[in-house]
A and B are shown apart, each in its own frame.
Chain A
Amino acid sequence: MSDKILPLEFEKPIMAMEEKIEELMRLSQDSHIDFTAEIAKLRSQAEEVRNKLYHRLTPSQKLQVARHPQRPNLLETVKMLSPNTWIELRGDRSGTDDRAIIGGIIELSSGPVMVVGTQKGRGMKENLTYNFGMANPEGYRKALRLFYHAEKFKMPVLTLVDTPGAYPGIAGEQHGIGQAIAFNIREMARLRVPIISVVTGEGASGGALGIGVANRIYMLEHALYTVISPEGCASILWRSAEFASRAAEALRITAQDLLEFGIVDGVIPEPQGGAHYDPTLNAQRILETVEQAISELKAIPNDQLPADRYAKFRKIGAYQEKNAAALSS
């Protein structure tokens, strides 16, 4: 990546160590004194600090990584997954092209795949174009017509999810944002082609589910999947958005949590420090996971894929069944 990586607040200790190492190297060159031993020692210390830090990120820190302005977005990722083929298909054929959701056809080793996902921009101008990855009903309806398209031609569907949620606006309510999400959930449940979903950043509530119903769900290591943003949760349950990190902890929204709960099927390790440190490696790992999933799902006849999906979601839920004796007590 040609741009300098923007450090996050909690990375400052590492940045300080890196600067010290660079200073010693410069000093070593200018003064011709041998600092090799000191540099090696500092390097290994920095390595240790880095390992410890990135292995123990708190949910709030993960949220910062997931929302990092340089995190690879949908368009960047698909071009790495499929360098030779990317044909975008636009519009909902009903008066709008919602740029927050982008879809098109790529080619993997298994064959053509329909990719649909939320697109965040790089910088303010792009983010205004893509509405920060916050879709309106029209985006979900575009996604649906691409899902039907994939089904007609027996293409597997890959969805890449990174969104703060559906856009909360007047037009959205007037055009039925709730219904658009609900209908996508229902129709994705019925689709007769394999669906794989990878949460690459924030997976926020209905906005994510509207393209997130899949046979297999994966999350990048620092991605999050939540029913409500920590800020939203904090302002409702703690009466102040200041409690956002408490909320983030309580909600259990990390990839590791969701794997433990049996809600996601796998966690894709990120390059150390986050996907933005090595987008190419990140894309490579996504590719490996997706290709493996496609080959597994291809073993299931298309007509049985809805049943596979149903079974996956049917068992999600935590409740108690009390017997008659316990009820009467």
Chain B
Amino acid sequence: MSLRDWFASKRNTSTKLDVSAMNSRLTDEEICKLWTQCYSCHQNIPSKELENNLMVCMHCGYHFRIGAYKRIMQLCDDFQEMDENLFPADPLNFTDTEPYLKRQADAHQKTGLNEAVITGIGRIGEERLGLAVMDFTYLGGSMGSVVGEKITRMIERALAERLPVVIFSSSGGARMQEGTFSLMQMVKTGAALAQLHEAGLLYISVLTEPTFGGVTASYGTLGDVNIAEEGARVGFAGRRVIEQTIRQKLPADFQTANYLLNYGQVDMVLARQEMAPILATLIRLHRQSSGLAPISLA
């Protein structure tokens, strides 16, 4: 299957515009899909142009949130997904206002995703890497057993093939409906990264909007290089919890990418356009200094 076909099979078909139907009168809905209003500067942008600009507003630089498959499409020249057959379970038999199983089914229906992370082996330019990209649209990007398992398996594969690892985080934190199972995924992934570290292999963490809780307190901040995407809010505790605890209003830029940069918590803040070239360069530099040969692209 060609790369284009693979991406086409993953694209949500409801956003595809039927060209022949454009000859007849467009419905209001279709007209709206031709334009997108920027959430930040409120200008109307042609949707196609926004798409070509990596979902970044050309007027103000606002970075729209994007899903995992879109991110992979923007980033990689090639990508082989792994563990697509992992699905969540219900270890606690959990029901709050709705059963957890129903939330899973609804999330799958709404997003087409099986879970909140896509993992696999990718290629950016000449560099091969283990890659995980989280998706906030699936249950708030929450980390449960499947997220932990998929990320761990990807790291173990990178270890075996001596590849660098890049993880794009986007998450509200650990998934409550799996209780302490979710909590332990922080240890599982942390321990896998410990092995990667001891093998001298590079791990780059990219923190995207928003990343909080158990993800920040595990693989999110364990990179040899930690990168925050422009506009991302990243922290451990949520803003509201902190405000309630200290009984003070927080500064408007609290926990934003630049705030983190000023407080020494990230190595750099990158605009989306810079991601692919800088990641490729970082991977190359560390690979070359380690004396690892480039992987043959057979």
Contacts and interface: CB of A to CB of B under 8 A. Distances in A.
A179 B178 CA distance: 23
B292 interface: no
B176 A327 contact: no
Contacts of B91: 261, 318
B94 interface: yes
Nearest to A264: B180
Interface string B124-136: 0000000000000
Nearest to A209: B186
A166 B236 contact: yes
Interface residues of A, number: 61
A181 B237 CA distance: 12
A189 B191 contact: yes
A174 to B, nearest CB: 5
B59 to A, nearest CB: 31
Contact of B181 (A168, A179, A317): A317
Interface stretch (B36-44, B70-78, B218-226, B277-285): B218-226
Chief secondary structure at chain A's binding surface: helix
Contact of B176 (A167, A251, A258, A318): A251
A123 interface: no
Interface in A129-150: none
Given A168-B245, A189-B190, A226 B179 contact: yes
B88 A306 contact: no
A118 to B, nearest CB: 16
B235 A186 contact: no
Interface centre among A252, A314, A318 (most CB of B within 10 A): A318
Nearest to A191: B194
Contacts of B248: 170
Contacts of A183: 221-222
B145 A318 contact: yes
Contact of A206 (B97, B178, B219, B236): B236
Interface string B170-207: 00001010111111111110111111011000000000
5 A-B pairs with the lowest CB-CB distances in the bound complex, closest first: A178-B216, A168-B237, A318-B91, A317-B145, A185-B190
Interface of A: 166-170, 172-179, 181-183, 185-187, 189-190, 205-206, 209-210, 213, 225-228, 232-233, 236-239, 246-247, 250-253, 257-258, 261, 263, 306, 309-310, 313-314, 316-324, 327
30 contacts: A166-B236, A166-B237, A167-B245, A176-B264, A177-B237, A178-B220, A178-B221, A179-B217, A179-B226, A182-B186, A182-B216, A182-B217, A185-B187, A185-B218, A186-B191, A189-B187, A189-B190, A210-B217, A225-B183, A226-B180, A227-B178, A233-B176, A316-B181, A316-B188, A317-B145, A317-B148, A317-B185, A318-B89, A318-B181, A322-B87
